Structure 1
């Protein structure tokens, strides 16, 4: 798949997610809104205990060619997802969902950086990553690196991934991987983790907005 058709596909997914928001809200809205009212400082989703098990530590290259570490995003809330640009399903859907959350935040989105870290360094070059994230959201940051750098980042976040041979896939292989979105506080501390299908983007954005207000953040 070339970069132009890939970008067009991502834009279609974003539009589709917006169209589905109303349907999802009818099915899940009541339960999620109840949770938001009763626990305003907690994001809905899959809770993870053992905070110290996840370490926000890496040295990678962003999609503009700049060398970055976890410290590069100090002062910003971060939404971190691991995947790859040739992913046919969970990655474009989850990243479009993250972009929708950013849109729902409005001006408060300036306090949040969505980050996409590749697990496929062989194919996800800087140019490929740049075209991919720029089609999603202007604040989206794509991170690439060597196999060793990517493996270290994934290990620190407790992210599982592996190469799987598949004759039907581009270049004869795909990447199997976990699909969580990690929420990090402005000091780099792990706060929460969730899956794209847990609740509508609007509900996550509302709770994240409350979290920004109650804990404070610098933009």
Structure 2
């Protein structure tokens, strides 16, 4: 009986490990994200918008005009993906040095109900002064995210609070507003920097 229980325990642990791995794969690779990237590549992205930057000033699509841009959608209560990505974005830009001075970087919230300009400013300033936080009315943010084919979904928590599942890629846009490529979550640093260097090249 003891041996049987031991085997059952091992099988249960193995099953839990497989389930956990499956959840991690879904979060980090995100099937909706992969689908969104294919749509982006085939249809283009973006639309005019009137939102608010992290200084409380109006910001429109014109902020992305004339310079290559790196755009990331996320939220300040994000436990891992967003802080990791913003930290890496800051590192990439720092590595590029003068070669990347033309690149603008934007962090657009998918959780505008909590992410006020003040909160966005405090959050992004922890990483670099190169990233501009963008928020706005929930309906306007939703329309913008849809135009970028970004996947996002509010996930209720047992505590009564919520988190957000969302596309984890950084979108790279050239100076003419054309989609060029993405940088995946935790992509190899050298590869990410090479993509940004190519984006910034004339």
Q: TM-score, normalised by structure 1?
A: 0.70
Instruction: Provide the alpha-carbon RMSD of the alignment.
Output: 1.9
Which deviates more from structure 2 when the two are superposed, residues 177-186 or residues 66-75? Answer: 66-75
Deviations 1:162-199 (Å, cap 9, x if unpaired)? 1111034xx61111111111000011111111212221
Give the alignment partner of residue 79 of structure 2, picking from 58, 79, 88. 88
> Alpha-carbon deviation of 1:157?
0.4
Runs of 4+ in 1 over 3 A off after TM superposition: 47-52
Q: How does 1:56-67 map to 2 (within 5 A)?
A: 56-57=46-47, 58-67=49-58
Deviations 1:108-137 (Å, cap 9, x if unpaired)? 232011110000011100110000111111
Q: Which runs of 5 or more structure 2 residues have no equivalent in the other structure?
A: 1-36
- For 1:101 and 1:137, the matched residues in 2 are separated by 11
* In the alignment, structure 1 residue 210 sits paired with structure 2 residue 198: yes
* In the alignment, structure 1 residue 51 sits paired with structure 2 residue 61: no
The answer as to whether partners of 1:105 and 1:206 remain within 8 angstroms in 2 is no
Equivalenced residues, count = 166
Q: Which runs of 5 or more structure 1 residues have no equivalent in the other structure?
A: 1-46
User: Higher relative contact order by CA 8 Å / sep ≥ 6: 1 or 2?
Assistant: 1
Relative distance call for 1:167 and 1:105 in structure 2 (3 A) is same
* In the alignment, structure 1 residue 118 sits paired with structure 2 residue 106: no
- For 2:87 and 2:147, the matched residues in 1 are separated by 25
Question: What does residue 71 of structure 1 align with?
Answer: 62
Q: TM-score, normalised by structure 2?
A: 0.76
Give the alignment partner of residue 160 of structure 1, picking from 151, 172, 184. 151
- For 1:197 and 1:134, the matched residues in 2 are separated by 21
Give the alignment partner of residue 98 of structure 2, picking from 100, 107, 129. 107
Higher Cα Rg, which structure: 2
The answer as to whether partners of 2:100 and 2:196 remain within 8 angstroms in 1 is no
Give the alignment partner of residue 131 of structure 1, picking from 122, 135, 160. 122
